[in-house]
Structure 1
C-alpha cells in the first residue's frame, strides 16, 4: 500500500491548514506549518506522520523516516502509521526492516488486504536484494558512467549479469549503458521491469526507451505505472510531460511539469521543458520566467539561453533577447539556431551592420551554410542592395536547390526588380518544392497576374490549385459537421469581421478607412477587426476607433483563429488581403464563418471554394467563370479619399511645351520589357514627346529602365526619373504630366485615382484577364471611356489623337477633379450603405438555407455627400 494523503483527523485549525496545503500539492507551505506545530508539540503524532509522508513525496525518503517512526511510537494503535513507516523503509532501500514492521503490524491484528500487499512487496524486495551485487561492484559501474566510459560500463554490466543474472540493478544499468550509446535498450529494460515489477525507476526508464522509439502509448503506460508505484517520482512526471508535449497536449504537459517541480523545485530539466511548453502556448512572459530560472541552474547550457532569447523576443523584449542569444553563442560559437535568432533580433532592431557582421563572421568558417546566405539575402534586400541580395539567394539555392524559403524570397525580389519571367520561373520552382507552404502559391500567383503570357483561363486554373491545396473545410466538418450555430434571424444585427494585414499606412487602408467609418455607425452591424501584422501607426489607431472589437492575430494559429471566430459569433468574415502579404487565406480555407467574402486587396479570385463572395462593381466587368466565389456587384466598390493638402491644379504642360509629357507612377514590379515596349511604340510615333517615371527606389532601377527603353530605340534624354517622395511631392509631380500611361496586364489603381484628382487622365489597355480591368473600371466611373484601349494599335492611335487635341486635353484637365467629386467613387457613405445591403442579402440567404449566389445592388438615394475640393 502506498498512502498518498494524510489520514482523516480532526486536529486544531493549524493542522487543518497544513493538511489543506498538503493535499493541494503546496508542499513547501505544508512543511512550514507542520514544523511549526512540531516545534510547539514535538510528539504530535499526526504532524509527525504527515511530515514523514511529505518528505517521501518530494523524494526525501530517508529524511522522512524519523518522523514516521516517531508517529508510530506515539500512536502505535494507529494502523495507518505502521503501513506508512513500512512503505517509507521500502522506499529508503531498507526492505528487511520494512518486512519486520509489516510482520509486527499483522501480528498485532492489522491483517487486511493493504498489509498483505505491502508484506508481499517487502518480501519481493528482500529476495531481490539477496540477488544483488555488492556495493563496491555497483559503485564501480556508477563510476564508469560518471566518467563517460560507456563502452567499459556496458562490458562491466554484462560481466556483472554473468554472476548475478537476475539482478534488477544489473539489467537497469545495462539499459542505461546501451541508451547513452544510442543502442537498442528496450529488451534490457523490459527484463528489468520483469525482475522488479514494483520498481518505479525501472518503469520510468522503460518509458523513456519507448518514447525514444516513438511508441508513445507504451511509454505512457510505463510512466503511469511508475507514478502509481511512486506518486512522488518527479522524473516520471517530467517525462510524462515530454510525452504530452510531443502529442501537442500542452495544457496537460504544463500540469505534469508543474507537478514535477512541486516535488523537486530545483529540477532544472523540468523547468526548461515547462518553458518550452509555455513558449508553444504563446505564454511568452511565463516561458521567459521558466527559462530564466533554468539558466540559474544551467548557466553554461547554450540551448537554455537560446530558448530564453526566443521567449524574450516573442514578448517584445528584443534587446534582452539579443543578450541571451549572444550568451548562447559565447558558450557554443557554432550554434546555428542561436545565430539565426540573433540575426532576426538585430533585424527587428534595425541594427543592420550588426547583422552583416554576424553573418560575415559566420560565413568565414561556414562558407557553404545555405541559411547564412539566405539571411544575407534578406538583410541585403532590406538595405536596398538588390544585386547582392539576388546573389545571396542564388548562392543559398546552389548549396540547397530545394531551399523553399530562399526560392520564395528570390521569386519576390525578382518580381520587385521587374524581372518578371525569371520571377515566374522561380515561383514555379518554389511551388514544386514547397506546395504545402501557402506563400509559394501566392507569390507565383501574384507574378502570373502581371504576365501577358498567361490567358485568363490558365490564370484561373493556377488560382484553383491554391484552393485544392488549402480548401480544408473538412477539418471543421469532422468535429462539428460543418454546421454553424449562429442565430439564423435574418433581421438581427450582423456580426461582421474584417481580416487584414494592412490596417496601417498601407495603400489598401486608404480605401478601407472611409467605408469602415460609415459601417461602424450602422445599428445593423457589429464590427470586429482581426489584424495580422505587428506594425502599428496613426492609421492603425484611427481604425481601432471604428472597431469595438480588435484582435491582433499575427501569432494566432489557423486552428486557434477558427476557435476565436466561432467564439466571437462572426456571421460574415471579410478578407482584405487575398494573395498579398500577411494574408490568412489558409485560415479562410477552414471555413471560419457562415459567410466569407473577399474585397479590395487583389484583382482576382482567391481560388478557395470556401470563399463565398467577391465584392466588385459593374465597371470592373468580371467574368464569373474565372472566380470560385459568387460575384456581388455594388454600384461602386472602391472609394477614393483625396489628400486634404493636395496641390492646386495647373494648366496642361503641353500648352507651354508644345508636346505631350507622359508619366508613370507605378511600382517597378508592374514594369517589364513588355510594358516598356508598348509605351515605346507610342513614343516612337510621337518623337517630340517626353516621359517621366517616378517611384524609383535606387539607381539600379533607373539603369534597368533606361536599358529597356534603349532596346526599343528610346533615347535616355527623353526620359526623366524621380525617386520616391512624400505624398505631397508625389502629387505635385503630376503638374508636369499631361497623360499617364498604364501598366499591363496588372493595371493601376491608386495611382490612376491620384492622377485623376490632379487632372491627369490615364491611357489604359483593357485585356481579358481580371487584373487588366482595374484601370478601365476607374476611368468609366468618371466618363473617360475614350481613354480605354483594346490592343497596342488602339493604344498608339488614341495617344496620337490626344497629341493632336491638346486644347481638348487641357479643358478635360480642368474638369477632372469636379468629375471625381460627383462620381460614385467619391461617395464613401453610399459605398458603405450598399455594402451593408449586400451583407444583409448574403445573410438572409444563409438564414433561409440558400447557397451563395451572385447578385447586384442597385444604386439608391443615400444622402450623397460631395467630396470637398
Structure 2
C-alpha cells in the first residue's frame, strides 16, 4: 500500500476533521489502483458518519476519474446524508446521464425529491426505478410516501403493500403505511402497523413517534407519553419530541417532572432548537417572546416560505372582494360554532365568500347552515398543497383566512405557497404563526395590546370590541336534568370548568383545592376529557386532602344540552395561562359567570376581552391572589353572585360580544382596509378599526 494512502489512513485514525486535498491528489496520481482504495475509504467514512471526509474524497475522485457514475452517485448520497438535498439532486442527475439503467440512483433521487416536497417529480423518478427492477421494495415504499403526501391514500396503501410483499421485514414501510392509515382515520390499524415496525426494530424512532401521535389522537395520553419518553431516551434531540411529551403529560394531567421538562424546552427555544410545536407549548407558556420564537422555529422547519404566484391581475376596483376561508372544521366544532352566523351575515353585495374545506361533512344542521352561507364550498382534503394552492389562486381570492393555524386540521403548507395576495391568521390559533407569508392577525386591544405587537410576526388588525365572534342563534336545550343524572350533590356550591384538561396546571389546581377546603360542601365540576386525566386529577385531589368524590366529571354531550346543563353550576373558574375561549362563550351565553385572571399572552387574555365587551369588569382579576379571593367571596356571598348573574343576563343581548351584526361589520371594515392597501401597492401595516 502506497505512502499517501497510509498517511490518509493515519490522519483518519487521528480523527482529523478535514483531509488535505493535496494528499488525496497525490494518492490518485501515484497509481490507478489507489482510486479503488480511496473509493472504499470514502464509503467507510460515510458509513461512520464522517461525512466531511467522505465528501472530500469523492469530490477529488470525481475530478480524477471523470465519467464514473458510481462516484457521482455516492457524492449525491453523501449530500443527502448532509441534509443538502439540492446538491444531492445535482449529482444524482449527473450519475443518471452516465448510467440511466441503475435503479438505485432513481430510488435515491426519488427519496430526495420527497424530502424537497416535490412529490410529482419523486413519482416520476421512482416509476423509472420500478420499470428497471420491479422487485426493489424501497422503490415501492418511497413512491407510497409521495402518494401519501399527494393525498392519494388508497394508492399509497397499495404501494406499501407491494413493498411489504417484497420485504416483510421492511420497518419503514410498516410505519409509513401506518401514517396513511391514520390519515384515513383507521387508527387501530395504524397502531397495529406501528407495533409491527417496532417488533422488527424496537429502536425505530419514527414508529415510536407516530404511535405517540395516534395514541394522543385517541386520548390515550399516558400511552402517548410513554411513546415519546422512549423516543427521547433513544434520541434526546428528536425534533419537537419534548413538546409532544409535554403536551401529552398535560393532557393526562400527569404533572410529574413537568416543570423540569418545561424549563428544558424554554432553554431549547432560546437556543433556536426544534423542541416544541406552538400549539402544545401555548398551553403552558405565558412568555410572548418565547411563543413567537417557538412559532418561527416550527414554521421555518415544517412550512418554509415557498411563494409561487403573482397577483398584479388582482389589482382591480369596483368588484366584490373575494374572501377565502380555509379550515378543517366546517362542521359541529368550536371554530365553526363561533363563525357560522358571521358567514351568514356577510354583505354579499360587497363580498364573495368561498370555503376551502380540509375536513369533512358531518351531516349536521350546522354544516347545512355553513353550506348555505358560502357562495361555494370547495373540498381540498384530498388535494396536495400544490393542487390546493393552484385552485385558490385560480379562484382569484383576494384575502385568504387561516382559521386553523397550528390547531385542528391545518394546511400550513398551502399558505407557505402564498396563493392569495393577503393572508390572515384568525381565530383557530390565538398567537402568531411566525411566518413571513402571513400578513395579518385579527385581534383586539386587549388580547394584543400595542406594547405586545412586537411579539407577533403578522401586522395586527385591532377590532374595536372582542375579536372573537359568536353565534347568537345558538340554541339552549330546554331539557331539565336531574341532579343525580349529572352526578352533582343535592346541596353545595358548584364550581365548574369545562376547559380541556391540558389547560389545568398544578398551581391552578392547588388554588381550586384550597377553594374546596374553604367552601364547605362545594364541588368542582370538570369535563371528562380522558380516563387518564380523570384518574390523575382524582389522585391529585386526594393528595391535597380533598375527597375525589368532590371532583365531578361531565360527559361530552351535544352542544344544546351542554349549554342547558350550565344552569346547574354556580361559577365558571377560568384557566391560565390558556383561558377558556369557546367554553367561556358557552358559559356566558348560558348565563353562567366566568371568573378570569388576565394573562400575559394572547391565549391568556381572551376571557378578559369577552368580559370587557360584556361590561363585566367585576369578574376580571389581575393575579392569582385576587382570583382566589374573589372566587371565595362569590361562593360565600349569594347576594353578590346573584347580582352578577342578573347583570350578565341583562348585558347578553345589549353588549357587543353576542352582536353578530356588529362584529361582521367590523370584520368587513378590516377586509376593506387590507384590500385597499394592496390595491395601492402598500405593504401590510397595523390596522385599527374604530
Whether 2:507 is the aligned partner of 1:697: answer no
Whether 2:469 is the aligned partner of 1:639: answer yes
Tell me the equivalent position of 1:670: 503
CA distance in 1, matches of 2:418, 2:542: 51
Q: Is this contact kept in 2: 1:694–1:722, CA < 8 A?
A: yes
Structure 1 residues 824, 326: closer, same or farther in 2, change over 3 A?
Answer: same
Tell me the equivalent position of 1:839: 671
Tell me the equivalent position of 1:421: 259
What per-residue deviation string (whole Å, max 9, x for no partner) do you get for residues 780-805 of structure 1? 23332211122233223323432344
Structure 1 residues 280, 696: closer, same or farther in 2, change over 3 A?
Answer: closer
Give how far 1:222 is off: 9.1
Tell me the equivalent position of 1:523: 349
Q: Is this contact kept in 2: 1:663–1:691, CA < 8 A?
A: yes
Tell me the equivalent position of 1:606: 433
Structure 1 residues 636, 428: closer, same or farther in 2, change over 3 A?
Answer: closer
Whether 2:641 is the aligned partner of 1:809: answer yes
CA distance in 1, matches of 2:435, 2:576: 25
Structure 1 residues 294, 191: closer, same or farther in 2, change over 3 A?
Answer: same
Q: Secondary structure at the match of 1:281?
A: helix
Structure 1 residues 726, 220: closer, same or farther in 2, change over 3 A?
Answer: closer
Q: Is this contact kept in 2: 1:449–1:459, CA < 8 A?
A: no
CA distance in 1, matches of 2:523, 2:180: 47
Indicate which of 260, 281, 284 corresponds to 2:120.
Answer: 281
Q: Secondary structure at the match of 2:524?
A: strand
CA distance in 2, matches of 1:587, 1:318: 19
CA distance in 2, matches of 1:450, 1:497: 32
What per-residue deviation string (whole Å, max 9, x for no partner) do you get for residues 356-411 of structure 1? 55454554453333334334434443444332332222122222333226445323
**Highest RCO, 1 vs 2 (Cα 8 Å, sep ≥ 6):** 2
Q: How does 1:579-728 map to 2 (within 5 A)?
A: 579-585=406-412, 588=415, 593-608=420-435, 610-618=437-445, 620=447, 622-626=449-453, 627-628=456-457, 629-641=459-471, 645-648=475-478, 659-698=492-531, 700-728=532-560
What per-residue deviation string (whole Å, max 9, x for no partner) do you get for residues 53-93 of structure 1? xxxxxxxxxxxxxxxxxxxxxxxxxxxxxxxxxxxxxxxxx
What per-residue deviation string (whole Å, max 9, x for no partner) do you get for residues 287-339 of structure 1? 99x69x959x9665434554575577668776776565345334323212221
CA distance in 2, matches of 1:432, 1:457: 10
Long gaps (5+) in structure 1: 1-170, 194-204, 227-234, 251-275, 859-869
Give how far 1:511 is off: 1.9
What per-residue deviation string (whole Å, max 9, x for no partner) do you get for residues 432-466 of structure 1? 9995x6xx5533x6424534xx4455555655666
CA distance in 1, matches of 2:615, 2:64: 89
- Count the aligned residue pairs: 617
CA distance in 2, matches of 1:614, 1:377: 32
CA distance in 1, matches of 2:634, 2:441: 36
Give how far 1:568 is off: 4.3
Q: Secondary structure at the match of 1:696?
A: coil
Indicate which of 362, 376, 392 corresponds to 1:537.
Answer: 362
Q: How does 1:332-481 map to 2 (within 5 A)?
A: 332-348=167-183, 354-355=189-190, 357-404=192-239, 406-418=241-253, 419=255, 421=259, 424-425=262-263, 427-428=265-266, 435=273, 440=275, 442-443=277-278, 446-448=280-282, 450-451=284-285, 454-456=286-288, 459=291
Long gaps (5+) in structure 2: 1-31, 45-56, 77-87, 484-488
Give how far 1:491 is off: 4.5
- TM-score, normalization: structure 1? 0.60
Q: Is this contact kept in 2: 1:495–1:526, CA < 8 A?
A: yes
CA distance in 1, matches of 2:445, 2:270: 37
Structure 1 residues 191, 428: closer, same or farther in 2, change over 3 A?
Answer: closer
CA distance in 2, matches of 1:618, 1:605: 16
Q: Secondary structure at the match of 2:509?
A: helix
Give how far 1:808 is off: 5.3
Give how far 1:747 is off: 1.0
Give how far 1:685 is off: 3.1
CA distance in 2, matches of 1:501, 1:829: 25
CA distance in 2, matches of 1:647, 1:691: 23
Structure 1 residues 213, 399: closer, same or farther in 2, change over 3 A?
Answer: closer
Indicate which of 344, 361, 384 corresponds to 1:556.
Answer: 384
Give how far 1:640 is off: 1.9
Q: How does 1:771-786 map to 2 (within 5 A)?
A: 771-786=603-618
Q: Secondary structure at the match of 2:277?
A: helix
CA distance in 1, matches of 2:158, 2:301: 41
Structure 1 residues 396, 192: closer, same or farther in 2, change over 3 A?
Answer: closer
CA distance in 2, matches of 1:357, 1:789: 49
Q: How does 1:206-221 map to 2 (within 5 A)?
A: 206=68, 210-214=72-76
What per-residue deviation string (whole Å, max 9, x for no partner) do you get for residues 501-539 of structure 1? 4334331111222212233x52222334444x3544336
CA distance in 2, matches of 1:189, 1:797: 76
Q: How does 1:720-869 map to 2 (within 5 A)?
A: 720-807=552-639, 809-810=641-642, 813=645, 816-817=648-649, 819-858=651-690
Q: Secondary structure at the match of 1:821?
A: coil
CA distance in 1, matches of 2:629, 2:537: 24
Structure 1 residues 620, 223: closer, same or farther in 2, change over 3 A?
Answer: closer
CA distance in 1, matches of 2:393, 2:594: 45
Q: Is this contact kept in 2: 1:414–1:422, CA < 8 A?
A: no
Give how far 1:348 is off: 4.8
CA distance in 1, matches of 2:299, 2:113: 30
Q: Is this contact kept in 2: 1:615–1:637, CA < 8 A?
A: yes
Give how far 1:591 is off: 5.7
Whether 2:163 is the aligned partner of 1:331: answer no
Give how far 1:556 is off: 3.4
Q: Is this contact kept in 2: 1:407–1:430, CA < 8 A?
A: no
Q: Is this contact kept in 2: 1:636–1:825, CA < 8 A?
A: yes
CA distance in 1, matches of 2:390, 2:350: 24
Indicate which of 357, 380, 399 corresponds to 1:572.
Answer: 399
Structure 1 residues 379, 781: closer, same or farther in 2, change over 3 A?
Answer: closer
What per-residue deviation string (whole Å, max 9, x for no partner) do you get for residues 551-596 of structure 1? 6277534x77666655544332322223434445566567654433
Structure 1 residues 721, 471: closer, same or farther in 2, change over 3 A?
Answer: closer
- TM-score, normalization: structure 2? 0.73
Q: Is this contact kept in 1: 2:403–2:425, CA < 8 A?
A: yes
CA distance in 1, matches of 2:639, 2:343: 41
CA distance in 2, matches of 1:498, 1:432: 34
Structure 1 residues 294, 238: closer, same or farther in 2, change over 3 A?
Answer: closer
CA distance in 2, matches of 1:427, 1:277: 28
Q: Is this contact kept in 2: 1:380–1:389, CA < 8 A?
A: yes
Q: Is this contact kept in 2: 1:410–1:426, CA < 8 A?
A: no
Structure 1 residues 771, 636: closer, same or farther in 2, change over 3 A?
Answer: closer
Structure 1 residues 299, 754: closer, same or farther in 2, change over 3 A?
Answer: same
Give how far 1:774 is off: 1.0
Structure 1 residues 727, 319: closer, same or farther in 2, change over 3 A?
Answer: same
Tell me the equivalent position of 1:25: none
CA distance in 2, matches of 1:278, 1:731: 45
Structure 1 residues 422, 595: closer, same or farther in 2, change over 3 A?
Answer: same
What per-residue deviation string (whole Å, max 9, x for no partner) do you get for residues 3-41 of structure 1? xxxxxxxxxxxxxxxxxxxxxxxxxxxxxxxxxxxxxxx
Q: Secondary structure at the match of 1:826?
A: coil
CA distance in 2, matches of 1:434, 1:316: 32
How big is the alpha-carbon RMSD for the aligned residues of Structure 1 and Structure 2?
4.8
Which has the larger helix fraction? 1
